Amino acid sequence: MGITLREIVYDIGGGVEGDKEFKAAQTGGPSGGCIPAAYLDTPIDYENLAALGSIVGSGGMIIVDEGTCMVDLAKFYLGFTQDESCGKCSPCRIGTKRMLEILERITKGLGKEGDLDLLVELANSIKASALCGLGQTAPNPILSTLRYFRDEFEAHIKDKTCPAGICKMPRKGLKS
């Protein structure tokens, strides 16, 4: 605790593979959040991670480079937590499913105006009303990627493009 993200990534981890640019660190396991390059000099502790929209969680850390689509990454983590939901409470059981459906549409180039506001509304409702820690933290990857990488979500929705080239978008002129 207290060591900076930069020290972990570059001094301990040896940097980003292939001399690519650091884009984000996803901390705290599947229910954690994504921390962008602007916060590389942040000391890692409970309070700092919480302020950035993440958690310590299991202590895991995934480092991603500029070739990662943050929308697809958020969808991946939400898919995991949605699958792990016990189903006891409807905020987690239904809310995460609805959020996952929205993210799936967005990554297929079928997102629409209002989707991002709906994601934030659902995420905040789930955090406030889920019965367990899984449900309460499941929205973290979505909220943090929207907070720091909103432009990528908007490119998927407005321009029908994935800046990282990961998501398969319909070719222009074709109806989906």
Instruction: Please report, for the chain, the start and end positions of each structural domain, with discontinuous segments joined by +.
Output: 5-65, 70-159
| pLDDT (0 to 100) of residue 60 | 86
Say if strands 61-65 and 33-36 run parallel, antiparallel, or are unpaired: unpaired
**Equal fold, 5-65 vs 70-159:** no
| pLDDT (0 to 100) of residue 57 | 83
According to DSSP, the residues that pair with 43 across neighbouring strands are: 4
Q: How far is CA 173 from the centre of its chain?
A: 30
| pLDDT (0 to 100) of residue 8 | 93
Q: Which of 142, 116, 117 is nearest to 127 (CA)?
A: 142
Q: Which of 16, 142, 134, 38 is nearest to 82 (CA)?
A: 134
| pLDDT (0 to 100) of residue 171 | 65
Give the Cα separation of 2 and 56 in Å (integer). Answer: 12
Q: Which CATH architecture has domain 5-65?
A: Roll (3.10)
| pLDDT (0 to 100) of residue 172 | 60
Give the CA count within 13 Å in the CB-facing half-sphere of 51: 8
pLDDT by residue, tens only, the chain of 176 residues? 899 999 999 999 998 988 899 999 999 888 899 999 999 999 999 999 999 999 888 888 999 999 999 999 999 999 999 888 888 999 888 999 999 999 999 999 999 999 999 999 999 999 999 999 888 999 999 999 999 999 999 999 999 999 999 998 876 644 54
The answer to whether 41 and 5 are in contact (CB under 8 A) is yes
| pLDDT (0 to 100) of residue 142 | 95
| pLDDT (0 to 100) of residue 101 | 96
According to DSSP, the residues that pair with 49 across neighbouring strands are: none
The CATH class of the 70-159 domain is mainly alpha
Q: How far is CA 31 from the centre of its chain?
A: 9
Give the Cα separation of 15 and 22 in Å (integer). Answer: 8
Q: Which residues have CB under 8 Å from 94's CB, separation 6+?
A: none
